[in-house]
Amino acid sequence: MYQVAEVFAQSFEEKYLSFQQQQGVSGEDLDRIPTIEDKTTLSYNLFKLPPVVVGDILSYLHNECPICIDNSSPAQIQLSVDAIPPRFFWEVYKRIFEEMAK
């Protein structure tokens, strides 16, 4: 039973990813304010990426909009998705889906 559920879950994730990619983010959408659903999707999918890719994304955000990264604790880094400006949000969003498609 568990294996059947896992197959369905994987199939759903693949189809949902395909749907998200078809929706895409075009150049004119980069200034659109992300919805709560967009922010939730970004943060959920960020955890699915390999640590190296997450590190690249966090470095990019730290350089482009340091206000969204809190690295005051040496043990951890906190990302405030709400503080990411729309243009950077959509660039990261697109990068996450590109990485997930690999």
The tens digit of pLDDT for each residue in 15-59 reads 666 665 555 555 557 788 999 999 999 999 999 999 999 999 999
The DSSP code sequence of 39-96 is HHHHHHHHTTS-HHHHHHHHHHHHHH-GGGEE--STT--EE-GGGS-HHHHHHHHHHH
**What is the pTM (predicted TM-score) of this model?**
0.70
In CATH, what number is assigned to the domain containing residue 17?
Answer: 1.20.1270
Residue type, 77: I
Q: How many CB atoms sit inside 10 A of residue 44's CB?
A: 10
> 76: closest CA among 60, 94, 54?
54
Domain that holds residue 76: 2-101
Name the average pLDDT for the chain.
84
* Backbone torsion region of residue 31, taken as left when φ is above 0, otherwise alpha when ψ lies between -120 and 50, otherwise beta: alpha
Q: How many domains does the chain have?
A: 1
